[in-house]
Amino acid sequence: MKIALDAMGGDHAPDVTVGGAAKAISDLSGLEKLYLVGDEATIKAELDKQRVSSLKIEIVHAPTVVTMEDAPTAALRGKKDSSITRATELVKRGEAAALVSAGSTGAAVAASTVLLRNLSGVDRAGIASPIPNEYGTCNIVDAGANPEAKPEHLLHYGVMGAVYARRVFGVENPVVGLMSTGEEDHKGTDFTREVFALLKASNLNFRGNVEGHDLFESRLDVVVCDGFVGNVILKSCEATAKAMFKWVKQEVMASGPLVQIGAKLSKPAFLKVKERGNYETYGGSPLLGVNGICIIGHGSSSSLAVFNAIRVACEAVRHELNPHIEEEIRKLPR
């Protein structure tokens, strides 16, 4: 299969995108072609620097980049020759089966929804972001594509998230929860109670309202919420984990030699915990619901994270994620 990589997207591009591309070419057997989309001279120089050369890699020139500072939709109109737009066009024309970007999330969402449009029956696309859960992976949908959601959008997130969990994570009968302020059915807002009724009436394996602790310690594959709440949850969880590690370090530094020796000895256990929560190994977040596979990586992605995002893109294509989403959306009562 053929994948388009926004080679200029992300805080550390094109260093990490070329690095991730090289690993993808060598490790992912199903990958026939990887388009590196971006400024040709810059990408060529980086390929030379990292001594990467493969017939499977093809540069597609795009002179501009949409940055985090650009307003996404305006940039889409203004920078028609940007790497994210050109990469998305490859998918639109059927020359690539999927698109991967660690650049501006807003730009990837805008390019995908405008150029690829939504899958049949889907009103709004939603980003599925993974949380490391004791039973596997809990995907939060929507993690920020659509901050002004309607109840029906969240029903679609539940359906699409469940298909994603089943097809890409191999989970049978995925469990879907609704983020709320308490476990009881009546908890939440008028909005969440409307979503609750829709999810309950669907054929999803809906376990009801869930709270923060369920993300980590309950058997839960998909949690639906509007894009504002999803984005805020993810960033708050990430910030808490980061603060905890920082504080442990601070308290160790402020302690006596015995504690410091102890911290050195026990460091391997910490690194394993860091690894469990490491988004690099999760491989990016799919924008579910657009007509084409779009995988969005963390802005500060490393080579490993870019590689894993390409890997997830391949999985989504191989397991025919989108046809299955359309099939399940069709089954919903109209």
Alpha-carbon distances of 82 from 57, 105, 107, 241, rounded to whole Å: 19, 14, 10, 35
Q: Which is nearer to a copy of itself, 94 or 268 (CB)?
A: 268
Query: Minimum CB separation from a copy of itself for residue 280, in Å?
Result: 17
Question: Residue 63: is it exposed, middle or buried by C-beta count within 10 angstroms (0-12/13-18/19+)?
Answer: middle
Q: In this structure, are residues 216 and 136 in contact, taking their beta carbons and an 8 Å threshold?
A: no
172 or 190: CB nearest a copy of itself: 190
Nearer to a copy of itself, 41 or 253 (CB): 253
Q: CB 105 → a copy of itself: shortest distance, Å? A: 10
| Residues in touch with a copy of itself (CB under 8 A) | 69, 71, 144, 147-148, 179-181, 184, 186, 188-190, 192, 211-217, 225, 227-229, 231-245, 247-248, 251-252, 254-255, 258-270, 272-273, 276-277
The encoded tokens of residue 144 equal 């920020």
Q: What's phi and psi for 173, nearest 5 deg?
A: 50, 60
Minimum CB distance to a copy of itself smaller for 247 or for 320: 247
Q: Which of residues 175 and 312 has its CB atom nearest to a copy of itself in the complex?
A: 175
What's the closest the beta carbon of residue 303 comes to a copy of itself, in angstroms? 24
- For a copy of itself, give the closer residue by CB, 53 or 189: 189
Tell me how far, at minimum, the Cβ of 197 lies from a copy of itself, in Å.
Answer: 17
* Beta bridge pairs of residue 176: 206, 222
* Residue 185 beta carbon to a copy of itself: minimum distance, rounded to whole angstroms: 11
Please report how close the Cβ of residue 101 comes to a copy of itself at its closest, in angstroms: 17
Nearer to a copy of itself, 97 or 233 (CB): 233
CA-CA distance, 177 to 211, in Å (whole number)? 9
**Choice between 127 and 313, CB closer to a copy of itself:** 127
**Closest approach of a copy of itself to the CB of residue 121, in Å:** 25
Nearer to a copy of itself, 120 or 236 (CB): 236
SS3 of the chain:
CEEEEECCCCCCCCHHHHHHHHHHHHHCCCCCEEEEEECHHHHHHHHHHCCCCCCCEEEEECCECCCCCCCHHHHHHHCCCEHHHHHHHHHHCCCCCEEEECCCHHHHHHHHHHHHCECCCCCCCEEEEEEEECCEEEEEECCCCCCCCCHHHHHHHHHHHHHHHHHCCCCCCCEEEEECCCCCCCCCCHHHHHHHHHHHHCCCEEEEEECHHHHHHCCCCEEECCHHHHHHHHHHHHHHHHHHHHHHHHHHHCCCHHHHHHHHHHHHHHHHHHHHCCHHHCCCEEEECECCEEEECCCCCCHHHHHHHHHHHHHHHHCCHHHHHHHHHHHCCC
CB of residue 10 vs a copy of itself: minimum separation in angstroms?
A: 17
Provide, rounded to whole angstroms, the least separation between the CB of residue 184 and a copy of itself: 8
